[in-house]
C-alpha cells in the first residue's frame, strides 16, 4: 500500500456491502469499515453511463457523511469511499431481478462487446474535500450456448452482479478478452482509486 495514503487516511469507510470491493481494499492493505447506505438509487431520465455511476456513488457517500454527522461519530483521519458499477450495452444494465432477467441480459451480451463503468466518490469529512471519477472497461464475450447460459443462471453467481455475471468467477471462461482494468469489472478500479486518494 502507498505509505503516504496510509498516513493520511487511517480509517476507510466503505459505503457498500459488496464483498468484492471489500476484498480488493483488503488486498491493497486497507481494513475498511462497512456502512451500507440506504438511499434512493433512482436515476434521472436519459442520464449518460458515466454520469449515472458517479451520481449514485456520490449519493451513497453523501448519505454516509450525513449519517456520521447526525450520529456525531468521529474517526481518526477518515475517508468515505462509495462506488457504483453498471454494465452498458444499448442502455444501462444493472443487476438481474430474477432468472428470466439474467437470461435476457446474458443473451444480449453474448458474442459481443459491452462496457463496464464504475463510478467512485471520495469524501474527506474533516476537510470537506470531495472527488468523483468514472473508470470504464470494455469486455468481450464469447458465443456461449443456450445450455451453457441456462446452467450458469441456475447457480447463485449472477444475481448480485451488474450484468448478471462475475468475471472473476465461473463465467470467466466465457470472456474472450477485456480492454482496460480487470478490477474495475470486479467492482473497484484500485489503481485509479489510489491515484485519486493522493489528490485529496
- Catalytic (active-site) positions: 84
Reduced to 3 states, what is the DSSP secondary structure of residue 139?
A: strand
Q: Where are the alpha helices (DSSP H) in the chain?
A: 3-8, 19-27, 49-70, 99-109, 146-153, 182-186, 190-197
Q: How far is 171 from 103, CA to CA, in rounded Å?
A: 13
Cα distance from N-terminal residue to C-terminal residue, the chain = 17
Reduced to 3 states, what is the DSSP secondary structure of residue 179?
A: strand
Phi-psi region of 126 (alpha: psi -120 to 50; beta: other; left: phi over 0): alpha
Amino acid at each position: 500500500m502507498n505509505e503516504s495514503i496510509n498516513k493520511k487516511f487511517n480509517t476507510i469507510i466503505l459505503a457498500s456491502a459488496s464483498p468484492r470491493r471489500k476484498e480488493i481494499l483488503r488486498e491493497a492493505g486497507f481494513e475498511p469499515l462497512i456502512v451500507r447506505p440506504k438511499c434512493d438509487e433512482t436515476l434521472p431520465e436519459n442520464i449518460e453511463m458515466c454520469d449515472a455511476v458517479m451520481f449514485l456513488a456520490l449519493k451513497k457517500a453523501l448519505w454516509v457523511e450525513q449519517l456520521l454527522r447526525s450520529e456525531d461519530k468521529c474517526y481518526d483521519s477518515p475517508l468515505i469511499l462509495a462506488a457504483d458499477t453498471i454494465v452498458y450495452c444499448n442502455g444501462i444494465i444493472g443487476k438481474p431481478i430474477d432468472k428470466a432477467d439474467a437470461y435476457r441480459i446474458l443473451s444480449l451480451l453474448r458474442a459481443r462487446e459491452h462496457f463496464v463503468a464504475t463510478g467512485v466518490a471520495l469524501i474527506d469529512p474533516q476537510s470537506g474535500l470531495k472527488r468523483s471519477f468514472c473508470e470504464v472497461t470494455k469486455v468481450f464475450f464469447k458465443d456461449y450456448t443456450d445450455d451453457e447460459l441456462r446452467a450458469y443462471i441456475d447457480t447463485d453467481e449472477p444475481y448480485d452482479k451488474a450484468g448478471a455475471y462475475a468475471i472473476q468467477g465461473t463465467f470467466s471462461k466465457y470472456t474472450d478478452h477485456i480492454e482496460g482494468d480487470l478490477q474495475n469489472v470486479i467492482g473497484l478500479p484500485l489503481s485509479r482509486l489510489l491515484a485519486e486518494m493522493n489528490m485529496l
